[in-house]
Structure 1
Amino acid sequence: MAIKNIIFDFGGVLIDWNPEYLFRKVFDDENEMHFFLKEVCSSEWNLKQDEGRTFEEAIRLLSEEHPQYKDEIAQYFSRWLETVGGDIAENSSLIEALKPNYRLFGLTNWSAETFPLAYRKYPFFKALDGIVVSGEEKLIKPDHRIYQRLLERYDLIPGESVFIDDSKPNIDAALELGFKVVHYSEQVNLKEELVKLGIQIDQTILS
C-alpha cells in the first residue's frame, strides 16, 4: 500500500520542549529545580493539562498542595513559551520538502491553552493539512481513540500513513492500528528513516 500521509508528533520531534529551560532561570539551586519538576510540576501533572484540564484549575489545586511553590507553579503557565528551546530544524525543515508529494498532519499530546502559543510562533505548523491536539479532544496518546479521531476527521487509512513519535507506547499503539512508524530519538536521522520507507523528499527545497 503506497504511503500518502505523514503524521508528526510535535514535542521531541518538531519542537524542543523541556521545562528545565524555564526553571533553570527560576531556581538558583539545581537540585531544588529537579525536585520541583519531579515532585511538584511533574510530567504526570502536566499530562492532565494535555488531557484537557485547564491550567487555572491545575495551578489552583497544586498551589493548595504546595503553597511554598505558589509563584513557581504559576510561572509554568505564565512563562510557558520559555519552556520551548526552539524547533528541531533538521526535522521541521522536512515539512516543506514533503508537502509536494504527501498530505501532512500532526497528532500531539499538548494543552489546548499552550499549543496556540507555539502555533503562532512557528510557521511550519500552518503548512500541515490538519492537526489533532489532545487537550482539545480530551484524549491523549496512546489511547487508540485519538488516533481514530485523526483517521476519521481527515479520511486517512493507517496502512497509507507513516506516524512519527519519540514515545515507544505511542509508537506501539500506532503499530497496533496498522500505521507504518518511525520511532524517533536524537540518535535517529528522520530524513534517512523516511527514505528507507520509500518516501520522496524534494532535495531541491532542502538545499
Structure 2
Amino acid sequence: MPGSESTPIRNVIFDMGNVLMTFDGPYFASLFTETPEDAALLDGALFGTTMWSLLDSGTIDRETMRRYALDHLPERLRPNLNECFDHWPEHSEPIAGTNELGIRLKREGYGIYVLSNANTRIMDQLGHAPVTPYLDGCVVSAKERIMKPDPAIFRLLCLRYRLDPAECLFVDDNADNCAGARLAGMHAFHFTGNVEALEAAIRQSR
C-alpha cells in the first residue's frame, strides 16, 4: 500500500458493481428471454459489447446504446431488448456483507464513498443499496467523462471531497482499477468476495 504505514485509513471508497450491487449481464439477459440461445444473443448485443463501456464513459447516451443493441438483434428479440434495457437494474441485488460493513464504518466515523464506472442513471441500481443513504459522496464515470483505472478519476474524487489519498482505501473487484487507485496515492483492496479480509485490511491501518 502507498504512503506511510502510520497513516490511518479514514475513508473507504467502494466500487458499485459486484462490490455493493450484483452485476451479471448473462443473468439479466436470461430474465427477459425464454431460451439460453436468446439470452446469449441479448447479452452479446447489450452488456457484452464494447459499446457498454462507451455508455459508462459518457461517450454515447442511452438511446445510442439502445439503437446499437437493437440493430444487432433479430427483430423478434427487440421487445425483449427494450424491456431488459429499461428494467435490468431492478434485478441487481445488494451484496449484504459490503453494505453492512459500509454502514458500520460510517457509524464509526469513517467517510464512505462510491466511485463507479457506470452510466448517468446509476441510481436506478445504486438506489437499492442499503449503504446509499450513508454515503458522503459519489463519483460516476459517465458524468465526469473519465473512467477507472485512469488515476485522474481518483484524484477528482479526492479534490471534490477534500480527501487525502493516503487516508483512503479503494475497494474494487477489478485489479486494474485497484492499480489506478494506487497510482493516485490511495490504498487499494482487490475484492473477491471476502468481506472479512476487507474489514481486516481496514482495521489494521488504525
TM class by shorter-chain length? Answer: 0.7 to 0.9
C-alpha offsets along residues 27-73 of structure 1, whole Å, 9 cap, x if unaligned?
Answer: 222133224323x1124222222112221121123323445342233
Aligned to 2:4: none
Aligned to 1:78: 86
Distance 1:200 1:148 in 2: 21
Contact 1:3-1:199 within 8 A present in 2 as well: no
Distance 1:199 1:56 in 2: 46
Aligned to 2:61: 54
1:1-207 correspondence to structure 2 within 5 Å:
1-38=7-44, 40-41=45-46, 42-52=48-58, 53-66=60-73, 68=75, 69-84=77-92, 86-99=93-106, 100-113=108-121, 115-186=122-193, 189-198=194-203
Query: How has the CA–CA distance of structure 1 residues 26 and 193 changed in structure 2, closer, same or farther, with 3 Å as cutoff?
Result: closer
Query: How has the CA–CA distance of structure 1 residues 126 and 190 changed in structure 2, closer, same or farther, with 3 Å as cutoff?
Result: same
Distance 2:101 2:198 in 1: 12
Query: How has the CA–CA distance of structure 1 residues 50 and 178 changed in structure 2, closer, same or farther, with 3 Å as cutoff?
Result: same
Deviates more, 1:66-75 or 1:104-113: 66-75
Distance 2:68 2:40 in 1: 20
Contact 2:89-2:124 within 8 A present in 1 as well: yes
Aligned to 1:204: none
Aligned residues: 196
Unaligned runs of 5+ in 2: 1-6
AA of the residue aligned to 1:51: S
Distance 2:72 2:125 in 1: 29
Distance 1:101 1:43 in 2: 40
Contact 1:18-1:83 within 8 A present in 2 as well: no
Unaligned runs of 5+ in 1: 202-207
Shift of 1:197: 4.2
Shift of 1:200: 8.3
Aligned to 2:3: none
Distance 1:36 1:94 in 2: 35
SS in structure 2 at match of 1:16 = coil
Over the aligned positions, Cα root-mean-square deviation in angstroms equals: 2.1
SS in structure 2 at match of 1:121 = coil
Q: Percent identity?
A: 26
